[in-house]
């Protein structure tokens, strides 16, 4: 459960990350932004998208309003929901690699939060994790 405290805060939730490394995992975006004020045209790094892999289908979350992002990773399939609306369904068909930035990683890893730049301001009120 997340709420922005600044317009267009840019961050992310890293998962399946390499333990002890910084930001070497899959990244579910946290960035409530669209093109031309049209939620049907989400910005490239919009909330719910998987960074550099699959953009969100639509901007669901709004700045200053608490939203819930759900991420489920089952084998090579990753899906995200924002406030119950599915934003991504993506299968990583790349060759296996220890670093998910470089290829498919199926094993568990660290969870990390990212604040992209000094203007990013988020409140994270709850993180729930479970083995699937």
What span, in angstroms and rounded, lies between the C-alpha atoms of 73 and 53? 14
Averaged pLDDT, 97-122: 94
99 alpha carbon, distance to own chain's centre = 17
Confidence band of 132 (pLDDT split at 50, 70, 90): low
Instruction: Tell me what pLDDT residue 42 has.
Output: 95
Say if residues 115 and 77 touch (Cβ distance below 8 Å).
no
Confidence band of 22 (pLDDT split at 50, 70, 90): confident
Report whether pLDDT(98) > 70.
Answer: yes
């Amino acid at each position: 459960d997340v709420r922005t405290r600044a317009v267009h805060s840019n961050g992310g939730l890293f998962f399946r990350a390499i333990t002890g490394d910084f930001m070497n995992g899959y990244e579910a975006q946290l960035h409530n932004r669209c093109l031309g004020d049209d939620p049907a045209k989400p910005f490239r790094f919009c909330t719910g998208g998987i960074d550099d892999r699959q953009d969100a289908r639509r901007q669901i979350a709004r700045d200053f309003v608490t939203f819930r992002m759900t991420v489920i990773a089952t084998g090579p399939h990753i899906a995200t929901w924002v406030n119950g609306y599915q934003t991504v369904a993506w299968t990583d068909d790349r060759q296996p690699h220890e670093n998910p930035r470089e290829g498919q990683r199926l094993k568990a890893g660290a969870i990390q939060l990212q604040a992209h730049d000094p203007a990013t301001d988020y409140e994270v009120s709850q993180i729930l994790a479970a083995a699937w």
